Structure 1
Amino acid sequence: MKFIKYTLSIGLIGLLTSCQSYLDVKPLESISDTQTIYDKTSSETAIRGVYSALASANYYGTNFQSIGYLSGDNIQWTGSQSQVQEFINKKVNADNSTIASVWTAIYVTINRANNVIAKVPTVTDPALTTDLKNQILGEAYFIRALAYFDLARTWGGVPLITKPTASPTENRGIARSTQAETYAQVLADLTTAEPLLPATTNRYRATRKTVWSLRSRYHLYQKEWDKAEEYATKLISDNASYQLVKPYSAFFANDARGTAESVFEIFYSANETNTHRNQWQPQTNGGTRQWAPNDALVALLNDPKVGGGRSTLVAKDNQNRWYGNLYYRTPAADPTYVIRIAELYLIRAEAEANQNKLTAAIADLNAIRSRAGIDVTTAQTKDQILLGIENERRLEFALEPHRWFDVVRTGRATAVFNVTDNNRLLLPLPAGELLIDKALVQNTGY
């Protein structure tokens, strides 16, 4: 079953019976397929199943995030598994188990969202009010948008599946869409989600504000600078809800969660833990330290003129070895930070710089530097400002999954990572998927 396309063996029963308790939902068991989503309770359980898939170890729990930073230049692999080293070397093979597990996990998430989108509108339970029905649908559209966004930036064009799947073979034979078409699906889902969702602040579930934040990131990737600026401003101007908390560590240290820094984070608990923690923490803290900050990152973070307060992201173990300390809790109930307000400041700064609004770009860049406790930037020209933003993003999100995607989208992979084969800027489709579906075509160069 390892390579069944998109793990379509995960049907609606799985959608409802595997929901995680961290969302305070008791799963519904032994429900026939015709009744899986039929009333208010099952509708609410189903959307929690979508969040559960998003939070899984192979998606935002660990593996998808690891692609974003292992492929960059901040992290070293301390183990012996060659498939992990492939990301460090920027030479990932199609039989890599991590890409297979991530591909599967994202399509599981999409399938669960598709079930909600297809079935919740047909529910006639009076207890499921129009507002609540719209909210559930909006959340499903938002999560599907995020899933396709992650697929597009990782693999390029992918098969677009927008209907629920009930059997393993149902979607075989569907060719890949282009990357542009995949991104278009993202925008379509965000556009649909926005009016369905409440304009409230919720750091754990999608609202209209969460949609705005992902739209800002989406428009940044599309180089639609005015739109990226517009949507970032919607969040930044909401100072009552979102702020750069001080000091830098305040959004994660001392068991903090759901601070004003957070736009969207994933909640874990002692019963449903975040597997990410064990990869970072050393053995003395009950982890494996399989990946760790490399010497270059440690030097940058510990330079008070460059890293400032961000030095709290790293610490030393009893063997004098550096380790990453963003995920540290015992038990491992650390949140996953999907979108922080700091990202919106840096998105807006980049968008402003690319529109030659240099004074505004410097102000947003300095907001990040000030929170980190370092001096204002000396950058003055557009190119200097853009490089300053790139450098701040490297440290601001040092242990979050941005670095690889940032450098690829700006066209600087050759200069920064020495990647001379542009085919390597997209990952290969998992080999197992190609074996079972001849309609799929591998990315060029693999």
Structure 2
Amino acid sequence: MHTTNRLFSTLSLLVLLAGCQSFLEVQPELQVDESQAITNASSAEVALNGLYNRLGNDGYYGSNYQALAYLSGGDIQWTGSQGAPQEITARKLTADNGYVGNAWAAIYRTILAANYLIETVPTLADPQLTAARKDQLVGEALAIRALSYFDLVRGWGGVQLVLTPTRKPSDNTGITRSSVDETYAQVLKDLTAAEPLLTNTTNRNRVTRKTVWALRARYHLYRGEWTQAEEYAGKLISDAANYRLAKPYSAFFANNAVATPESVFELAFSNSFRNGHANWWLPPALGGRREWAPNAQLVTLLNDPNVGGNRKDLIAQTAPPGNLWYGRLYYRNPIGTDPQYIIRIAELYMIRAEARARVGKLTDALADLNTVRDRAGLSALTAATTPDLAATLLAIEQERRVEFPFEADRWFDLIRTGRVATVLGITDTKKYVFPIPTSEILADKALTQNEGY
């Protein structure tokens, strides 16, 4: 596979600054012989730290992958002058788009880093690396690889499955694309393998068994497996001692809050490892560029007391004469130290609501939906306002829209529910996936382009 070859000299395994105590401090990486990179307990721990860094990299959850979804979903506008994001918002995405290329490469870098841990850690003979700790390291890597392939398949469709390390340029070449079903099957295989290896503890910045349950709930929702989606979402919702909705809505992010009971999995950042989102959301007066901004329709929804409720705290307006609306989920000083929210307990409520509705449990679905609405300061919906499945699903769609507007949720929701043509007017189904980067197609004859690009 070309991605693995092109990144071979700089990726391989991530050997980061020695002696780091936290993955917040391990941004730099060295180019080394990756076949010798993981040799003992210490280097294995550093490699795992590096894997989380890959997940939060600017190309992945730190910026570009999220931006592809933001700018595709219809509620976020681009206010800058760069061509790549303009292509996305104008529905003229090409295979040469820089956001596409950066996101694709960053996700595969994450997969490659996970592959080294998955293969190498079980072979290590170090008395400081217990069997339980080996299981935890491998389990975290498997879960992150599952998340990476999940993000690839929902963005690009079926992709090349690279499941072993790339130690030399000839490794992992000539791999053809798997189907969508085969790619999803790999996601489930990795999550299933990870679950028994991980501890049943609560950690909002690292993967545990509970994180896997949350990811499985999302996976089953996308696959239309409603009973399993309800089951796995319920595992987190029932753990009220550790996971609950923060009240009011802004409590999970305002006043420099981190790792609140709202979060199931969030990435932490610091001065030495920065989250790129604030740079794009904040106006210049607050240190950003405000090149991603809520459009007028989203501003109206969030400011409507009957729709947005107290979620209006997600946005603010610059002083006159500009009067420009901006997103303030990412706002901290120093800039770039905001957490990145990968999955919150609110999403588990919304997953369970939809899963219950799909199997005819409309009363139970409304109960979950109203729990999220109550936190937003909204009145409860009733059987009179949502009398049937169609009305309930529309209510869930609307709630997700204003609950997760800055968490890259909207585009993928509309695609998976078959609503993108109705809502966004995009009738060309070929545009429901992103293009494979041109550079990858040219370099790897085994890789085929998505139809329409």
Place the TM-score, normalised by the shorter chain, in its bin.
over 0.9
2:266 alignment partner, SS class: strand
Match in the other structure for 2:125: 124
Do the aligned partners of residues 145 and 6 (structure 1) sit closer, same or farther apart at CA in structure 2, a change above 3 Å counting?
A: farther
The answer to whether the 8 A contact 2:16-2:47 is kept is no
Match in the other structure for 2:70: 69
Deviation, structure 1 residue 9: 3.0
1:197-346 matches, cutoff 5 A: 197-318=198-319, 319-331=322-334, 332-346=336-350
**Per-residue deviation, residues 28-56 of structure 1 (Å, max 9, x unmatched):** 96865443112111111111111111010
**Per-residue deviation, residues 223-264 of structure 1 (Å, max 9, x unmatched):** 000000000000000000100110000000000010000000
1:125-144 matches, cutoff 5 A: 125-144=126-145
**Per-residue deviation, residues 351-378 of structure 1 (Å, max 9, x unmatched):** 0000000000000000011000011122
**Per-residue deviation, residues 118-137 of structure 1 (Å, max 9, x unmatched):** 10000110110111110000
Letter in 1 for 2:354: E
Aligned with 1:368 (options 369, 372, 378): 372
Aligned with 2:362 (options 358, 365, 368): 358
Match in the other structure for 2:159: 158
Deviation, structure 1 residue 81: 1.6
1:337 alignment partner, SS class: strand
State the aligned residue count: 444
Cα separation, 2, equivalents of 1:315 and 1:30: 43
Letter in 2 for 1:359: T
Do the aligned partners of residues 322 and 304 (structure 1) sit closer, same or farther apart at CA in structure 2, a change above 3 Å counting?
A: same
Cα separation, 2, equivalents of 1:28 and 1:352: 46
1:181 aligns with 2:188: no
RMSD: 1.8
Letter in 2 for 1:328: Y
Match in the other structure for 1:16: 15
Letter in 1 for 2:259: G
The answer to whether the 8 A contact 2:4-2:172 is kept is no
Identity level (%): 53
1:61 alignment partner, SS class: coil
1:426 aligns with 2:433: yes
Letter in 1 for 2:95: A
1:445 aligns with 2:452: yes
Letter in 1 for 2:327: G
Q: Which moved more, 1:126-135 or 1:34-43?
A: 34-43
Deviation, structure 1 residue 89: 2.5
Letter in 2 for 1:50: L
Letter in 1 for 2:299: V
**Per-residue deviation, residues 378-414 of structure 1 (Å, max 9, x unmatched):** 2121111100000000000011110000000000111
Letter in 2 for 1:385: T
**Per-residue deviation, residues 92-138 of structure 1 (Å, max 9, x unmatched):** 11110111000100010000000000100001101101111100000
Cα separation, 1, equivalents of 2:445 and 2:5: 11
Cα separation, 2, equivalents of 1:440 and 1:30: 27
Cα separation, 2, equivalents of 1:71 and 1:287: 22
Aligned with 1:403 (options 407, 410, 414): 410
Letter in 2 for 1:388: A
Do the aligned partners of residues 3 and 32 (structure 1) sit closer, same or farther apart at CA in structure 2, a change above 3 Å counting?
A: closer
The answer to whether the 8 A contact 2:11-2:31 is kept is no
Do the aligned partners of residues 103 and 21 (structure 1) sit closer, same or farther apart at CA in structure 2, a change above 3 Å counting?
A: farther
Letter in 2 for 1:434: I
Q: Which moved more, 1:171-180 or 1:202-211?
A: 171-180
Cα separation, 2, equivalents of 1:398 and 1:61: 16
Cα separation, 1, equivalents of 2:31 and 2:86: 43
2:230 alignment partner, SS class: helix
Letter in 2 for 1:357: K
1:87 alignment partner, SS class: helix
Deviation, structure 1 residue 67: 1.3
1:171 alignment partner, SS class: coil
TM-score, normalised to structure 1, is: 0.96
Deviation, structure 1 residue 16: 1.1
**Per-residue deviation, residues 1-31 of structure 1 (Å, max 9, x unmatched):** x97756233344x511379875266689686
Letter in 1 for 2:271: A
1:149 alignment partner, SS class: helix
The answer to whether the 8 A contact 1:10-1:108 is kept is no
The answer to whether the 8 A contact 2:62-2:277 is kept is yes
Letter in 1 for 2:388: T
Deviation, structure 1 residue 172: 2.5
Cα separation, 1, equivalents of 2:229 and 2:406: 24
TM-score, normalised to structure 2, is: 0.95
Unpaired segments ≥5 residues, structure 1: none
2:265 alignment partner, SS class: strand
Do the aligned partners of residues 34 and 409 (structure 1) sit closer, same or farther apart at CA in structure 2, a change above 3 Å counting?
A: closer
Letter in 1 for 2:341: Y
Cα separation, 1, equivalents of 2:397 and 2:88: 21
Do the aligned partners of residues 166 and 241 (structure 1) sit closer, same or farther apart at CA in structure 2, a change above 3 Å counting?
A: same
Cα separation, 1, equivalents of 2:404 and 2:182: 29
2:183 alignment partner, SS class: helix
